[in-house]
Chains A and B, each alone.
Chain A
């Protein structure tokens, strides 16, 4: 009977992983819809192709080699066959693989509307096979960074990946945008930023709600256990705090834009929600509900300023605001951990953020430059003008609507 009980725990934990993983997988749809809503209609089919393609690539490359690099388990998962100690190792892989895809999804939005599709896919292959798994190994798997030092020893803590997943994705995106340059027409002759409105706000909002929902899996699953009172309580608090932070992010962003510009800019409310979620991701387990809401609210404020500063001051053209939402706010999330978690230190968080930044930015930059040299990463000016849907995908997203 004891055995049966242990099996039940095994079963419940495995089930919990699978359900949480399915929610994270659902985030792939969220990113697709968010990005499809925030680009112009002439670039919509391409960004959809990019998103479903990158998800498939991430799932495949992580299976081939990424998971092995990050956690062991064998090339092509040959150590994974649906067994395991406390829960099925297949469930663990399933849960981990959707995280890789999330990191990769972040990149696609920032470089939208001007990049060659297959150059992006080539980047995705390397990022999901090597770049992400390496830094994942140093953090969540506790490996020493190039055998030199362990981040955990320095007091680094990133519960569900504000830094490891979100900031990493944003840093890869930043490198891409720097190599790629801004969209034609984004900056006028005087260098003034011009607004390029996205084509479909309901899609963007749907995407945000999908991400909000999926994030319960992202953070909730990162407790990594459910079948005891303690872990069940922990998962419940993580759900509660994740929701509170997202709500705080929306309210803060909405009030701020209303004060600044007199209008309740929907896109900022959406980014505020995501910023709240990114901000809490590094430590959804330790704050109280109020603290979580405030951490999210600071994220919501940050994202509004960050989007504007990156756009107007640094001329970094990020059509969906991914670098601000996931990068700047991801860093904030890391730095907020020591406020409520005595196990983490500011210096440790900075060390971790620095390590992730240097590794991901360096390798990504090299990779983008190689791709640029080898196959080119930017579509021609004419293709960009007519839209990448026609040039890359050969079809239109809304053939009957657009003009």
Chain B
């Protein structure tokens, strides 16, 4: 799996993602500068966490207009795998590759801690190796991860089975107490209709080594590797991103 890790001004989990892929998984990976426009050497593009452009105005609002995001949009529409982590998730939403928005945490505080995620869909490129209902332990680190979408959007996400992760208790119950940021329906991660684009607030790249507290994050990267050997089915219908893009 050839991975490109996008570096925007202000990105910081680029190095953590590179560490997970190169050192832990032994997979080839390269950094992709935000001014780049060619991604055809890549199987997977990661938009990592951080504070692109300082998260000034709105998280991801300015990064969304960089050349690389146009390229990522085209790459996604060609069926390439795209993983947006934390700030990357926010950027995918600003770019309309994924629906909804991420508001300030309900606590209005930044939160860095381990959380439990229930795998709601294991037919995305990033969850193939998970059992449905499986609970993953992965850290969050954000101040604005409070998922919001209007009723209609949320309903269609539920209907189309595009809610991939929900915050849950260690034994997999979806409760208010397990929700670290006030997200609607405890949503922690969603995918596009085709399942090749995933956005999530938690940081799988921080959960790839027992030494650092856990390795559940590896499942997602291993799933992607497997997905590439069994290409995903074509979109059932026009999913987001196919027409949406950069103004």
A, B co-complexed: no
